[in-house]
Amino acid sequence: MVFLGVFQKYIQPSIEILNLRIDEPITTVTDLLFAAICFYAFFRIRRMEYDGRVKWYFKYYFLTLGLGGMTGGIFGHAFLYSLPQEWKLVSWVFTIISVALITHAVVELSKPLVKPRFTKWVGRINLLILALTVFYTLWTLAFLPVKYYSIFGLVGVVGSISYYIYLKTRKRGVAILMAAIGIGFISALVFSFEWGLSPWLNHNDISHLILSFSAFGMYKGAALILS
């Protein structure tokens, strides 16, 4: 029987390919897998005939999220040993922006169902918290603001507004979106508690794999909403 190593953090060994050192190779690959799914979603949504700001927000949510995954794998894991620590910020800032975009997408989607004052204030508050999160992340070089803003944006704002929209419309796409957010929250738990199986499948790898399923679910939900 396999048990998650709840109290053990697995450190992934480096490998060399043609004399090129690659740190955390499986973590890098799973990050790139996650990014590939996001880029696929971006290109698919871009081709959709739906017009409006909701599509714009969803489209660039996946683009920035994919860029965050790609730069995280390359700069934050594989080759960070040869770069200043500040290079990790590239991925983190892309991730923060992506959360702001998905938040605005759902706020825009809720406009026919709520008072204009509500969407205006939620949008303003989100932009304020986005700016503060980016500033604090750049100032401290800490990942915690990224994690907390992601939880606030995805669970607190996107999840709650999506639930309200679903109660009013019963749209299947919104239900899938909420399910995908739930899967993403599981990924956050795995990452936070460092639940891993081995050095070659540690908490980062498992978290990225779960996030990949979540991203695909977000795409399917968005596609149904925009269809």
User: What is the spatial distance between Cα 22 and Cα 135, in angstroms, rounded to a whole number?
Assistant: 30
Q: Which two tokens stand for residue 75?
A: 């700069």
Nearest C-alpha neighbor of 214 from the set 90, 82, 61:
61
Query: How confident is the model at residue 117, as a pLDDT?
Result: 92
Query: How confident is the model at residue 192, as a pLDDT?
Result: 87
Stated as kind and residue range, the H or E segment containing 22 is strand 20-22
Paired with 22 in beta bridges are 15
Query: How confident is the model at residue 8, as a pLDDT?
Result: 61
CA 136 to chain centre: 19
Per-residue pLDDT of the chain (227 residues; tens, 9 = 90+): 444 444 467 889 999 999 999 999 999 999 999 999 999 999 999 999 988 899 999 999 999 999 999 999 999 999 999 999 899 999 999 999 999 999 999 999 999 999 999 999 999 999 999 999 999 999 999 999 998 999 999 999 999 999 999 999 999 999 999 999 999 999 999 998 889 999 999 999 999 999 999 999 999 999 999 98
Nearest C-alpha neighbor of 93 from the set 25, 34, 141:
141
Query: How confident is the model at residue 216, as a pLDDT?
Result: 97
